[in-house]
Chain A
Amino acid sequence: MRGRALRFSPVALLLLAGCTGTQSALDPAGKDASVLADLFWVLLIGATVLWLAVNGLFFYVTRIEPRSLSRRLAETLVIGGGIVFPFFLLSGLLAYALSIMPDQRLEGTGVQIRVTGEQWWWRVEYIPEPGAEPIVAANEIRLPVDHRTEIKLGADKFIHSFWIPALAGKMDMFPGRETRLAVEPTKVGVYRGQCAEFCGEAHALMAFQAVVMEQDEFAAWLEKERQDAVMPASDLARQGEAIFLEEGCGACHTVRGTEARGPAGPDLTHVGSRLSLGAAVLPSDREAFADWVRHTKRIKPGVKMPPYVHLSDEKLSALSAYLEGLK
């Protein structure tokens, strides 16, 4: 018996390891996610008690006391175990689940974030105050720690769902309709978000990173994000900028401070400062930029950006140096 337990323990450890990490609702780093994790455990315990009670009764009447029961005992078991006990247990669980909902809906203050689900990436706009010009970014969300931030959600063409499991519950995103969500991170760190509603062939590759920062660091980062793109710092990067404009990349992408003002694709003004590329499918380094530009369709099937297979290695290297330098 002990040997069997030892054999199973690595399996159990592996399964439990799945409960931690940057994309786990059971390893919360936000106030709302923490309440939801508690809800999960309470419901799990309640369901286990109910399961044990029902199956325990079944075991009792079939194995321990298989003879005919007295009518009184039978009635007590059926009415007590079949109606009264489940009613009170399920009522308690339902009331508990409903009681946490109002706090989950509380609005955020300060900088507001608008996220739009595109094919298949995330348009992210920071609105410092009502009516202010949005600061446009993409595929990464930065949040101040210990502050409740309001996130307005929308979609371009398909229904998506916005979910950072470690920070809060999920919310659907619809074309033509605005939904909302507020998150209140409690731990600084990098967490992973994922589209949680099947939206098309690249659905599984539509992810993003949520970076939770100290409040003053967030303010400084936002101020930097507001600025135009930095000038290319090397000859190679300057060549890359020229190639970027020659190839017409600016028809779809914006790099603020340059002629590139295309609104269709992700804003690339500070793309080099992001932690990942292509909606969290590649790391953010020079090699990944080259790989992405040349093999967009292979890396993310269904993506609208065409693969630039005609670019020579030299041109691709220069373009990657330029993009990587857009800090």
Chain B
Amino acid sequence: MAGTGKNEETKTLAEEADSLWLITFAGSIWAVHFLVCYCATAVICAKLGGDAAAILMLRLALGGVTLVALAGIAFVGWRSWLQWDFLDDGDYVHNLARKEDRHEFLGHASFLLSIISFIGVIYVSLPVLFLETCQ
């Protein structure tokens, strides 16, 4: 009996550890996307600023990176939505010291972070759409 309790506890801790990782993913994708855009643009503009073909390639590549980032954030958002489990119980508040509340709170927070990260990635990418030169 004691062994079963210990297994249950281990499983719970493992799930919560996963949830903790989940909460970092969307923001991390946003940060990495920003760094890739910033660094790639800085290097290409410094080395090949006058080369229209190189800039077109850069814009296409950053467009691709943006789509991957948005897909990644959407996936994290979907996983978070499932973990929040809102449609099941309609819980907005998760303030009890029990496993379900901790689990759903992390899903809820992660879902909101996914929304802000999604918007952040779109805003970081908009210049790629409009700016055709390094000037």
Chain A nearest Cβ from B83, distance in angstroms: 19
Contact, CB under 8 Å: B132 / A102: yes
Contact, CB under 8 Å: B130 / A98: yes
Contact, CB under 8 Å: B127 / A98: yes
Asked if A20 is at the interface of the complex by the 8 Å CB criterion, the answer is no
Q: How far is the CA of A87 from the CA of B122 in the complex (A)?
A: 11
From 91 to 135 in chain B, residues with beta carbon under 8 angstroms from any chain A beta carbon are 115, 119, 122-123, 126-127, 129-133, 135
Residue of B nearest to A99 (CB): B130
Q: How far is the CA of A95 from the CA of B126 in the complex (A)?
A: 7
The prevalent SS among residues of A at the interface is helix
Q: How large is the interface on A (under 10, 10 to 19, 20 to 34, 35 or more residues)?
A: 10 to 19
Contact, CB under 8 Å: B135 / A94: no
Contact, CB under 8 Å: B126 / A105: no
Q: Which residues on A sit within 8 Å (CB–CB) of B122? A: 91
Size of chain B's interface in residues, with CB distance under 8 A? 12
Q: A83-B115, A87-B119 are in contact. Are A98 and B126 (CB under 8 A)?
A: yes
Asked if A242 is at the interface of the complex by the 8 Å CB criterion, the answer is no
Contact, CB under 8 Å: B115 / A101: no
Q: Which residues on A sit within 8 Å (CB–CB) of B132? A: 102
Chain A nearest Cβ from B55, distance in angstroms: 12
Q: Which residues on A sit within 8 Å (CB–CB) of B133? A: 102, 105
Report B's interface with A, CB cutoff 8 A: 115, 119, 122-123, 126-127, 129-133, 135
Report A's interface with B, CB cutoff 8 A: 83, 87, 91, 94-95, 98-99, 101-102, 105, 180
